[in-house]
Chain A
């Protein structure tokens, strides 16, 4: 059970992010919620590749026969982090533009597009 604790933490992070998306009405908080989900997924990926007592997967300096953590999830996580940064930056940029037009970040007051 205790070995699964990291996975539980990741799922809690993702759930918190989803809750933020559903419950909050501030554009910045929505971006934060999205970041929480991103972090949860990234942590989950890295945790998946962990091997107990493993060393970083770099062959050059590895001692003979030592177990290595899986390199693939780390590569995936790196890619995913880069994508997450791009997404977050783009969303924050749009939030800034919306704030300049409307003077508010409250989604209930930004309602040009409905129906």
Chain B
């Protein structure tokens, strides 16, 4: 059983998702319990895989063969589908495994029964399966398939509230961008296949020579995955998507952008690690800065609490790109600061998932209680919902990188690493953080401060429980970051730089 943990983490939600509508016919409670059980099972698998992989081993799981060595045809040509889980994949698995169950916990009470709850829960489970698949696969084409699984499932969740006019519009826009990003990725895969005749990431990585066709494929991978990760200038779908989806489901969409970003790191560090120009690193850094600044300024203009948080989420993508981008610029020499910056960027993925997840759950609570998210109408909720207000405040401070919360722990690493490359990068990042602090202070003031308003509805306890767990995680990560950096983030960042170990694990030399 445990030897099959990586594939079970993908197969169980995939099949379980389709079983969900059947179980809903039996009983609604059974369906809700089923969704939670699946999510918890995936978390357990992700945790088990991580416990084995984070010690430095790379877990190659082969479909259709007992032993990875059996897949190699003469000449070292892998002929079976394989999952390759290294420390970074496992780290993404942990993020998804943490956010997934909490999102389902919040979602099963948040969605009203008559608004297509069964089908949207199904889509959420499928999205979860796609995310795990993207994190664990070691095959370029499988990555594309899982990318499309997440695209279709995510757009379903964004647009299923068809009685509003805004949700389908956001979903159409998002689907257009997602489909385009998937096709760019597929075209890139096709170029590489035409040149090297293989789809296995490690094999192509060993053979790659950096020809003009390879560069064209790299451009396609870059544009496709950046589009899906909501990097500027193609970020405009993200606020619509996060804003129009039921806010309790938005945390998983955020994880989806992060796992797309993970795909980009995989392509840049592992696939192209041997033939990459410094210019690509600078491009990622520049787009990262652009993303954080543009999104922070756009957040300033929002009057809808959901969209404001959404722009905050997009700006955090910029920090991850800055951190890992600095590592990419310095990839050939691998100075210590490159590792620090990469650790910051990777750590920020986890922190962002927790922080932004908590913010979206707060938005969900506000929407649940007041039925609106317009900051001009909201106010005074701090009296009746002190716990939600406290969570929102904590998450806002963490998002802006105020010590001793988790956002600070990863941002300080990004600042430290990027400062060695160029102080200008650090200055822009810090100024953006200050701007975000102002934005979220205004949002907190607008929603929670002011004269007391009477509220009839109470926030459902599963939503509060999920928020509580995220808030505790946020503080724990902020108070003892050293432990997590050493045990989880360190190996994950190191995995990006150890391309040879990755190739060796799959190709056996």
The chain A residues found within 8 Å of chain B, CB to CB, are 14, 21, 27, 30, 34, 37-38, 41, 44-45, 48, 70, 72-73, 76, 79-80, 83, 86-87, 90-91, 94-95, 97-98, 101-102, 110, 112-113, 115
- The answer to the question of B171 belonging to the interface, with a C-beta cut-off of 8 Å to chain A, is yes
The reply to whether A38 and B170 contact each other, CB–CB distance below 8 Å, is no
Give B189's nearest chain A residue, CB to CB: A76
Cβ 8 A contact of A91, one of B145, B169, B175, B183: B175
The reply to whether B186 and A41 contact each other, CB–CB distance below 8 Å, is yes
The reply to whether A34 and B179 contact each other, CB–CB distance below 8 Å, is yes
The reply to whether B298 and A115 contact each other, CB–CB distance below 8 Å, is yes
9 A-B contact pairs sorted by A residue (CB < 8 Å): A30-B176, A72-B193, A72-B199, A87-B151, A87-B152, A94-B159, A94-B168, A97-B168, A98-B165
Known A45-B186, A87-B148, A101-B165; further 7 A-B contacts with Cβ < 8 A: A30-B176, A38-B179, A87-B152, A94-B171, A95-B172, A113-B170, A113-B243
Known A38-B183, A72-B199: A112·B152 in contact at CB below 8 Å: no
Give B145's nearest chain A residue, CB to CB: A79
Known A21-B180, A113-B240: A87·B175 in contact at CB below 8 Å: yes
In the complex, what distance in Å separates the CA atom of A113 from the CA atom of B365?
23
Majority DSSP secondary structure for residues of B touching A: helix
A86 CB, min distance to chain B CBs, angstroms? 5
Q: Which 3 A-B pairs have the closest CB atoms?
A: A101-B165, A97-B168, A94-B172
A38, A72, A83 — which one has the most chain B CB atoms within 10 A of its CB?
A: A83
Chain A positions within 8 Å of B11 at CB level: none
Chain B positions within 8 Å of A98 at CB level: 165, 168-169, 172
Chain B positions within 8 Å of A95 at CB level: 172
Cβ 8 A contact of A112, one of B166, B186, B298: B166
Give A45's nearest chain B residue, CB to CB: B190
Cβ 8 A contact of A101, one of B168, B175, B194, B197: B168
The reply to whether B156 and A113 contact each other, CB–CB distance below 8 Å, is no
Chain A positions within 8 Å of B148 at CB level: 83, 86-87
- The answer to the question of B1 belonging to the interface, with a C-beta cut-off of 8 Å to chain A, is no
In the complex, what distance in Å separates the CA atom of A110 from the CA atom of B176?
15
B151 CB, min distance to chain A CBs, angstroms? 7
Give B178's nearest chain A residue, CB to CB: A87
The reply to whether B193 and A113 contact each other, CB–CB distance below 8 Å, is no
- The answer to the question of B162 belonging to the interface, with a C-beta cut-off of 8 Å to chain A, is yes
Give A42's nearest chain B residue, CB to CB: B186
Known A112-B166, A113-B240: A41·B183 in contact at CB below 8 Å: yes
The reply to whether B180 and A41 contact each other, CB–CB distance below 8 Å, is no
In the complex, what distance in Å separates the CA atom of A4 from the CA atom of B138?
31
The reply to whether A48 and B176 contact each other, CB–CB distance below 8 Å, is no
Known A45-B190, A90-B156, A91-B172: A113·B166 in contact at CB below 8 Å: yes
The reply to whether A80 and B186 contact each other, CB–CB distance below 8 Å, is yes
B151, B168, B187 — which one has the most chain A CB atoms within 10 A of its CB?
A: B168
Chain B positions within 8 Å of A21 at CB level: 176, 180
The reply to whether B179 and A91 contact each other, CB–CB distance below 8 Å, is yes
The reply to whether A48 and B193 contact each other, CB–CB distance below 8 Å, is yes
A21, A41, A73, A113 — which one has the most chain B CB atoms within 10 A of its CB?
A: A113
In the complex, what distance in Å separates the CA atom of A14 from the CA atom of B184?
10
In the complex, what distance in Å separates the CA atom of A112 from the CA atom of B173?
12
B219 CB, min distance to chain A CBs, angstroms? 14
B182, B244, B301 — which one has the most chain A CB atoms within 10 A of its CB?
A: B182
In the complex, what distance in Å separates the CA atom of A86 from the CA atom of B178?
13
Chain B positions within 8 Å of A90 at CB level: 152, 155-156, 175
The reply to whether B183 and A73 contact each other, CB–CB distance below 8 Å, is no
Known A73-B193, A101-B168: A87·B187 in contact at CB below 8 Å: no
B87 CB, min distance to chain A CBs, angstroms? 29
